[in-house]
Structure 1
């Protein structure tokens, strides 16, 4: 992954130690490296962070994090002095996020917290519509904080995680509320009028900027819903569906934000498929336990969705394969295919005779899709893997999500899967990568990666015990792969894997709801 031009190299920040901060607070504003009170959003508080350090941190944010926030343009970071002087909220938000990945960053975040904590509060009191630049400055600051807040399920109480953290759900609510205050949901009408008037470069218009932020917030809501198992706070409407027609006018690959446009297009495939089967789109709802899903209808819909995703890949593949950031769209495509395939597994009901041929095919397809998601980070180059440490929480949780599914599938159906060993190896490699990329032991990738590694070992031990048990049974051949005979699926496997389900319901996978509950799949439970 290529660094953005103009980005500064990592810079050690010795001036940001607590002792240095206190000493700097007495320096007069004439110091050219000190952010003066007149230049600060809440300058009377005296943060004591030098202008040079702020510029370095903003440049690092551009280099490390902007590739993962599709709504930002490189042109917005050409004049760092202007950002500090005229967009201090945006500057503080970027420094706050960047500091998390720097030595001594905890103290920096604590120093910035009084300023950044005012940003979501301003949503409800700020005057809107007077100066567009002021409106967008607050929206950009909210976007930065929202994208990099610690994502936790709403059912879990917020962790007392220190003096330097903001709560995800409060930021999400503030960002979406501010979008409504700015009437971003009507921005598509403004954009269409500007395009009809042929008013120069459409990418520089206020309407285009406003519309892309609306798409971004929809995208964030979509992924939050997926990884937390909650209803989306922003649903598809005409303003979102307009993206396809807009692409026809802009060209197949718009100047920016290309990744965002491509990602929204694949979300619409899901939405279109679910019109024939509403529960397919309402992934946060568990199936009705009193009804049996029409498996043939489900299979037909999933095949239709697969064809639509293949067409989407054909449309976007030249961009994916030629642009450094284009591969992110491939990640969206892989995960969407997995989520759609998983619907058949959520609705799976097996009889005492075991799985049907169709059910085996649906199970193996979903397992293959989950492995395909994990292969994305695992097959990156060394530098690309290192850059993944700067992604937001949702990307980490998506990897964990697929890992949990694979472990659950291997637990519930070890005799039906032909690649149990491969699945466990992929989960182990993905978990190790998360641990290696974590910035500290409190970072979500480290926490979830360590948790998954423990669960892999627990499952391996249980499967080995079951294999040894089966070897003592008559008419059982020794397989090179870690597999169980059909007789082991059901009551025997429940006994052998006793305690494994309870491990998944601990507070270990912080950030995931326990939606993959395979206990319902065993006969007689």
Structure 2
């Protein structure tokens, strides 16, 4: 059997879940465009990324005519001129809007039209996010943040429904591209109280949605869909759009809490968990289907903490069961989760080829399976001293070690390799600010990718076959 060989080649690393795509889309913490004075905090990450820069494909920068010219860094903090904000707004519309399904393209006009129509808060929020992708625009973000934060607070206190809806959309835009709070190693190098921090936006969302529950919103939509059965465009109704916005934010909040504290992941209430049934006749709609699919995957992942608690009990020796039984149950739970993710994939993956907006689902799928595999591999490493039959879970263990060791890059297409590399780079960058083991795992992934890509896939397969044959003869 090939498990022992795979584990020998596997380097020691943390089992922490890697970041999601929305986790690494904010570029302020990744010095892809370093200044002339690079602190020791950044240099280690930058040197490592430069070493591996030619090993495999690098994601191209988002297309823009002259991004460096959009907003030159001003010497003093000042409100950006409207022309620069319009350029950033257009950058968001052209490159990022497709990844935010809660905004309808037909509701988005030019920057000037948005401002004249009283939607300047949403337009400024989009420009703020875009500035995070454009070199030299940190001062633009800093000048926009106080105005956005102040007006969001005013909307949360007011009773105007239209203003609250614009504020909800703005928070969805901002929160989708905001990093969770990091405990820095050198606190003097970061802003202690940024006005648009991750936790601040989360609290703002809770205040804006405090007037009604998600369950009430789902009931309103259910009644509407009964009245307008099989209507071609249900997203023109405001109650549907508000409900979809709540569902989208649930998936984002779930992803963040799952990364920060998997044992206390943000869980769905009945108003969220019933969305697939409510929209059962409209799942072919590219926006409704995308959001429902992401909710369904989050509902599957909510079951992972139960398996993790069983794993923790096994490692701490707090269970009275025999070793064989104590690891058999969490392995069985992980196998059920892996099967559920497989079923989810078969149901939703055919849509990925039809719409670009579904592309993030592929990343969420691989990310979820990777996390399940890490836990399964962790159990097997801990219980390898016990001679017992794993039964149906053996296939999960073998597959898990294959996944987490990245042995067969032939199974990954170019886009997936690019994602893994980007994920590793972010883990290195975040690890320099936060925990050393995060950087260690990122370095391990970069090094492993470098080695695998420098080896012919055929050679890797031949080596595995030779080892499997030698093991069978023993």
- Same fold per TM (> 0.5)? yes
Provide the rounded CA distance (Å) in 2 between the counterparts of 1:95 and 1:443. 29
SS at match of 1:322: coil
Counterpart in 2 of 1:337? 369
Counterpart in 2 of 1:202? 234
1:63 aligns with 2:94: yes
Counterpart in 1 of 2:280? 248
Name stretches of at least 5 consecutive residues in structure 2 with no aligned partner.
1-62, 450-461, 465-474
Give the 3 Å change call, closer, same or farther, for CA 350–231 of structure 1 in structure 2. Answer: closer
Counterpart in 2 of 1:78? 109
Give the 3 Å change call, closer, same or farther, for CA 203–444 of structure 1 in structure 2. Answer: farther
Counterpart in 2 of 1:365? 399
Maintained 8 Å contact 2:427/2:442: no
Maintained 8 Å contact 1:89/1:137: yes
1:87 aligns with 2:119: yes
Query: Of residues 158, 161, 180 in structure 1, which corresponds to 2:210?
Result: 180
Provide the rounded CA distance (Å) in 2 between the counterparts of 1:374 and 1:96. 40
Provide the rounded CA distance (Å) in 2 between the counterparts of 1:210 and 1:101. 28
Q: CA deviation at 1:430?
A: 5.3
Counterpart in 2 of 1:324? 356
The structure with the largest alpha-carbon Rg is 1
The 5-angstrom pairing of residues 36-51 of structure 1 reads 48-51=79-82
Maintained 8 Å contact 1:191/1:208: yes
Counterpart in 1 of 2:74? 18
Query: Of residues 130, 135, 146 in structure 2, which corresponds to 1:103?
Result: 135
Provide the rounded CA distance (Å) in 2 between the counterparts of 1:152 and 1:376. 36
SS at match of 1:18: coil
Name stretches of at least 5 consecutive residues in structure 1 with no aligned partner.
1-6, 23-46, 389-398, 400-428, 461-478, 482-525
Provide the rounded CA distance (Å) in 1 between the counterparts of 2:408 and 2:185. 26
Provide the rounded CA distance (Å) in 2 between the counterparts of 1:158 and 1:355. 49
Q: CA deviation at 1:218?
A: 1.3
Give the 3 Å change call, closer, same or farther, for CA 313–353 of structure 1 in structure 2. Answer: closer
Give the 3 Å change call, closer, same or farther, for CA 172–154 of structure 1 in structure 2. Answer: farther
Range 343-352 or range 100-109, more displaced: 343-352
Provide the rounded CA distance (Å) in 1 between the counterparts of 2:91 and 2:441. 31
Maintained 8 Å contact 1:331/1:376: no
Higher normalized helix content (fraction of residues): 2
The 5-angstrom pairing of residues 391-410 of structure 1 reads none
Q: CA deviation at 1:60?
A: 0.8
Query: Of residues 181, 190, 193 in structure 1, which corresponds to 2:223?
Result: 193
Query: Of residues 136, 139, 155 in structure 1, which corresponds to 2:168?
Result: 139
Provide the rounded CA distance (Å) in 2 between the counterparts of 1:211 and 1:284. 36
1:289 aligns with 2:317: yes
Counterpart in 1 of 2:50? none
SS at match of 2:280: helix
Counterpart in 1 of 2:46? none
Counterpart in 2 of 1:31? none
Maintained 8 Å contact 1:188/1:239: yes
Q: What TM-score results when the alignment is normalised by the length of structure 2?
A: 0.65
Q: CA deviation at 1:11?
A: 4.8
SS at match of 2:157: coil
Maintained 8 Å contact 2:114/2:120: yes
Counterpart in 1 of 2:58? none
Q: Which has the higher contact order (CA 8 A, sep 6+)?
A: 2
Q: CA deviation at 1:120?
A: 5.0
Q: CA deviation at 1:262?
A: 0.9
Maintained 8 Å contact 1:89/1:141: yes
Q: CA deviation at 1:66?
A: 2.4
Q: CA deviation at 1:77?
A: 2.1
Counterpart in 2 of 1:395? none
1:148 aligns with 2:157: no
1:261 aligns with 2:292: yes
Provide the rounded CA distance (Å) in 1 between the counterparts of 2:399 and 2:200. 38
Provide the rounded CA distance (Å) in 2 between the counterparts of 1:480 and 1:374. 11
Give the 3 Å change call, closer, same or farther, for CA 243–17 of structure 1 in structure 2. Answer: same
Give the 3 Å change call, closer, same or farther, for CA 127–457 of structure 1 in structure 2. Answer: closer
Q: CA deviation at 1:197?
A: 1.1
Give the 3 Å change call, closer, same or farther, for CA 106–381 of structure 1 in structure 2. Answer: same
- CA deviations on 1:27-52 (whole Å, 9 max, x unpaired) are xxxxxxxxxxxxxxxxxxxx542322
Give the 3 Å change call, closer, same or farther, for CA 111–305 of structure 1 in structure 2. Answer: closer
